[in-house]
Structure 1
Amino acid sequence: MKCNIKVLSPVHIGSGEKYTASEYVKSKAKTKKGTILNIIKRIDVSNYFLSLDGDRKDDFLRDLSNPNFNLKDFDKKIPNSYMKYRAINKSKKDIGPSQEITEAIKTLNELYIPGSSIKGAIKSAVLYHELDDEMILNISRDVIRNNGRVDNRNYTRWINDIFTSRKAPTPAQGDIMKFLQVSDSSSIKSPTIYDVATVMASFRRGHNEFYSRNKRSREPTLSYLECITRGNSLSFEINNNYDYEVFKRLGLDGKKYLIDFDNIKKSMFIFSKSLINHELEFAEDYNIDYLYKFYSKLEKQNSIEEPLLKIGAGSGFLSTTVGLKIKKYDENLFDKIRDGTRGKTYDYSFPKSRKITQVGGMPLGWVRLSFEEV
C-alpha cells in the first residue's frame, strides 16, 4: 500500500544536532508570487574553512571561540556553492547568534519522516484501540507500583502479551509488529524554522502563561526547530507481509488482525479522536482560544478512511502512551501514574503544558493519512 501524508501542523523529528549563527547566514528570497521570505543559508563550514587562506583561517578560528560569532559578519559574500540547504525562517522572535536551532533529520540535506517514527505512532494507536477494561485492570495490578511509577520489566511483559506470541523462541521473533513494514517517507527540500514556546495551564481565565526561565521579564523560553511545515505532502509505503505458514508456526495467526490495514486505519481514527477531544477540553478549561479553534478544525478532518496521526516532537505523554485510555477507564489509576511521572503535585490538567509555534499558535506533529493500493 502507498500512504500519502498531508502535513496539518509543523512536524519536527530531530537529527540530534543543533547549530548557531556560526554555521548559517541570514538572507532574503523572493517567491514566484513576489513574496519576500526570510531565509537562512546553512553553510558547509568545513569546506568553506578549507577555502580560506592561512591568515583568514586563523581569524576564523579566533572569532569562532566567541559564543556570539556570526558567520555573516565574518564574510558577507559567502558563495552559494558552500550552501548545504536553505531554510525558511518563520520565527516570530529574531534568532540571536548564540541561540541554537535544532536540526531536523535529513537525507542528502532533504527532510523526511523516518519509517520508525511512523510505525511507532501507529503502534501507539493500535495499542490504544486494543486496550479494554481487563487490560487496564492488569496494568493496575501488575505494572504500576504503589508510588505510581511504572515497573519497566512488567510493562515490557505486558506489552509482549499483546503484540507477541509465547510460541516464538524470543519476543523479538514473535512480535507481530515486525511484519508491518513501513518505509521512510519521501523528502522535501527546505525546512521551515519556527520558534516554539510552552504554553502553561492557568486557572486565571484568559491569562495562560508561557514557560519562562526568567521570572522577572517573563519572556517565554523558546526552542527554534527545523520543521516540515503545514501544507506539505509526502508519501511512504506500508506492507503487512502476511504469510499463513510463518504466522502459524510462530503462533501469530490470532494476532494478524492487529496489522490489518482496516484495523490500523480504525485505530488511528479512534486514537486521534480521543486525543483531539482531550485537547479541546484542555483548551476550553483554560480558555486558550487559538488551541480550541485549531482542534475544532482538526476534528472535522479525521475519518476512518483518512485518519489523523500525531508524529514527532510535541507528541507528549498522552499521544505516545496508553495514558489517555487509562484516564478514560480508571481516573484514579491515571492520577496515580501522573503523580509518579511528574514527580510533584499540582491541580492542573495533566500534562499541564503544550508546545506551540509562536506564529500561527499551532501544536506540533499533526498529519492526515490516505491509503491507496500499488
Structure 2
Amino acid sequence: MMVASNLILSKPEVYETKQIQLTSPILHIGSAISKLSPFEYVATNKRVYLPNPEVLARAFQQRGRLNEYIRRIESQEDQDLTSLLETTFGDNWHNKKDSNEEALFPKHTSSLRWTQQKITDLRPMIRNGFGQLYIPGSSIKGAIRTAIAYHLLKHADKYELSRTQQLSEIEKKLHETIGQIRQRPKFADDKLFMDALFSEFNLIYQGKNALGKTSLQNLDFMRVIQVTDSEPLIEIRVTHKKGKPHFYNLPVTAEVIIISHWEGGKAKYKAPIYTEMVRSVKTKFTISLNKTMLSCFTPKNKIPFETIDDILTICQEFAQDQWDEEHFYWKGIKNTLNAKDTNQQPISLNFDNIRDFYQPEVCSYNLRIGWASGMNGTTVNLLFDPELRKEIRDNCSPRKAPDFEAPKSRRVVALSSREIKFVPGWVKFQEV
C-alpha cells in the first residue's frame, strides 16, 4: 500500500547538538584540592611527579620503610622525598610498580618541569576519576552563562529588561550594599540581578502553565543548554614535515607570576604560583540545546538565543570586550628589566610577548575559561563604571588599591628561563 508523501510525519527536532573542538595555548582548571604540600609531589630537575598515594604507601610498607615515610611527613623536616625514594626503590623509582603491578607514579600524572625555581605549594589541575586531565563541562557552561548575562545587560533595551535589571539600577544597588558584598562576594550578584535575568520566566506546556515545583533552578533557562566534559587531555606527539616534533596536551608545571604595577605603569613582581597546566590544548566536547524545553519558556524575547550558533556568537562578543580591555592594560604596563622577585633574585619583567599576543584588534578566541580568567572573565564587571569596579575590588580584596584600576593585577606564565611568554585561559571553538 502506498502512503502519500504529504502524510508522512517527521520527527520533531528536540535537540540541536554540536561537537566542538577546543584549542588553547595554555590552560589551567583548578581542582577540589587547591594546592599540594611538598610531600604530595616529587620534583626532579626535569619532571614533577604526582604519586598514587595508596600504592606508594603500600610499596613503602612492603619494603619496610613506611614508618620512615610517615616520620618525614609528620616531622616536616626533610620535604624532599627523592632521597628516600632512591634509597628504597633505586634510581628508577619513578617507573616502579608495587607487587600488584600498579605504578607508584602513573605516567599520566607527571608533568614537564618548566621552572628552575623551588616549587612550593603546587597548584594541581583537575583530573577525572581515572586520574586524567580534562576540562569539566561545568567550567565551560559557567563561562557561557557569564557571557549570556553580560550580553543581556549590555543590550538591555533590545531584550526589554525591567527597570531593576538596567545597569544604572544595578550600579545604584551595588553602591548601597557595597559593605555587604565582602561577606559573600561570589554570590552577591545572584540576588542583585543574576536570578532575575535567568529565572524570571514561566514554563508553558501545551498552552498551560507547567505543573510541579517552580524553584529558581526549574525556571532557569540555562537548563536548556547541556555541555559535556571534554575528552581527556592525553599528550599527543606529532612530527612535522621537517621532522620537528610538536606536542598537544603537554602537561607542564610552570611558574605563574602575579604581575601588578606601580604608579606610572612600571611593572611590579608580586608573587609566584607554581601551577600544573596544559600547553597546546586540543580536545573535544559536545554542546546540546533542548529546543523543546526552550520553547516552553516565556517571555521568549528575553532569551537571547535560539540556536547553538547564537550562543557561540554571544561568547565571541564577551571575549572581544575582554580582549579590548587586556590590550589596553598591557599597552600601559612598562617593562621592568631589573626587577627582583620575592627571594630578591633578579628577574626581567619584559612583556613584549604578551603585548604581541594582544596586538590584533580582533579577538580570534571564543571565550576565556578556568583559572586566571579573573574578575573580567567571571563577572559582568566590564559593564560597570570604572570607579564602581575599584570600589567592589577594594571591598572584596584584602589588598586594596584605591588609586588604581580594577583589576590591577594579572597572571602570566614564564618559561624555565623565566621569559614571560603566555597568558592562560583563552580558548577557541571550532565545530567538528
TM-score (norm. length: structure 2):
0.71
Deviation at 1:17, TM superposition (A): 4.9
Pair 282,102 (structure 1): closer, same or farther in 2 beyond 3 Å:
same
AA partner of residue 319 (structure 2): S
CA offsets 1:299-352 (integer angstroms, 9 cap, x no match): 64966xx642111111111111111012xxx34544443443346452122111
Please identify, of 150-159 and 66-75, the stretch whose mean Cα deviation from structure 2 is larger. Answer: 150-159
Aligned to 1:120: 142
Q: Distance in 2 between matches of 1:22 and 1:47?
A: 15
Give the gaps of 5 or more residues in structure 2. Answer: 1-17, 98-102, 157-162, 204-213, 236-250, 336-348
Which among 195, 200, 209 is matched to residue 268 of structure 2? 209
User: Equivalents in 2 of 1:301, 1:236: separation in Å?
Assistant: 28
* Alpha-carbon distance change, 178 to 249 in structure 1, aligned in 2, over 3 angstroms: closer
Distance 1:106 1:302 in 2: 33
Aligned-partner Cα distance in 2 for 1:331–1:136: 13
Structure 2 counterparts to residues 229-240 of structure 1, below 5 A: 229=279, 231-240=280-289
Once residues 262 and 189 of structure 2 are traced to their aligned partners in structure 1, the CA distance between those partners, rounded to angstroms, is 36
Partner of 1:365: 425
Q: Residue type matched to 2:253 in 1?
A: I
Select 2:396's aligned residue among 319, 341, 348: 341
Please report how far the alpha carbon of residue 295 of structure 1 lies from its aligned counterpart in structure 2 after TM superposition. 5.2
Contact 1:5 1:235 in 2 (8 A): yes
Query: Cα distance 1:7–1:249, how it changes in 2: closer, same or farther (>3 A)?
Result: closer
Q: Does 1:9 align with 2:26?
A: yes
Structure 2 residue corresponding to 1:60, chosen from 52, 69, 82: 69
Equivalent residue for 1:222? Answer: 272
Aligned equivalents of 2:188, 2:414: Cα separation in 1: 40
Identity, % of aligned pairs? Answer: 20
Give the aligned partner of residue 105 of structure 1. 126
- Superposed, 1:285-304 pairs within 5 Å as 285-288=332-335, 291=351, 293-294=353-354, 296-298=356-358, 300=360
* Aligned partner of residue 421 in structure 2, secondary structure: coil
Q: Give the equivalent residue in structure 1 for 2:221.
A: 176
Shift of residue 61, structure 1, vs aligned partner: 1.9
Could you say which residue in structure 2 is the equivalent of 1:35? none
Contact 1:183 1:237 in 2 (8 A): yes
Asked whether the 8 Å contact 2:369–2:426 carries over to 1, the reply is: yes
CA deviation map 1:183-230 (0-9, x unaligned): 00111236311111211122255x41111xxxxxxxxx322111122x
Query: In 2, are the aligned partners of 1:272 and 1:302 still within 8 Å (CA)?
Result: no
**Are residue 251 (structure 1) and residue 328 (structure 2) matched?**
no
Say yes or no: does 1:87 pair with 2:122: no
| TM superposition score normalised by structure 1 | 0.81
Number of aligned residues:
342
Counterpart residue type for residue 269 of structure 1: Q
C-alpha contact 1:193 1:224 (8 A) present in aligned 2: yes
Deviation (angstroms), 1:44 = 1.8
| Higher gyration radius (CA) | 2
Whole-angstrom distance in 2 between the partners of 1:123 and 1:299: 28
Q: Give 2:260's aligned residue.
A: 200
Deviation at 1:87, TM superposition (A): 1.3
Letter of the structure 1 residue corresponding to residue 132 of structure 2:
E
Task: Report the more deviating stretch, 336-345 or 135-144.
Answer: 336-345
Q: Deviations over 1:221-267 (max 9, x none)?
A: 322111122x1201100011110xx4454425334443632322222
Tell me which of 324, 346, 350 is aligned to 1:277: 324
- Contact 2:389/2:406, CA 8 A, preserved across alignment: no
Structure 1's 118 and 291: CA in aligned 2 closer, same or farther, altered over 3 A?
Answer: farther
Partner AA of 1:279 in structure 2: E
Amino acid at match of 2:71: R
Q: What is residue 164 of structure 1 aligned with on the other side?
A: 199
1:218: which partner in 2?
none
* Aligned partners of 1:23 and 1:44 also within 8 Å: no
Aligned-pair Cα RMSD in Å: 2.8
Structure 1 residue 44 and structure 2 residue 100: aligned?
no
State the Cα distance separating 1:26 from its structure 2 match.
4.0
Q: 1:177 touches 1:259 (CA, 8 Å); kept in 2?
A: no
Shift of 1:293: 4.1
The 8 Å contact of residues 195 and 357 in structure 1, kept in 2 or not, is answered as yes
1:285 CA drift (Å):
1.7
Separation in 2, partners of 1:45, 1:366: 33
Separation in 1 of the partners of 2:50 and 2:189?
46
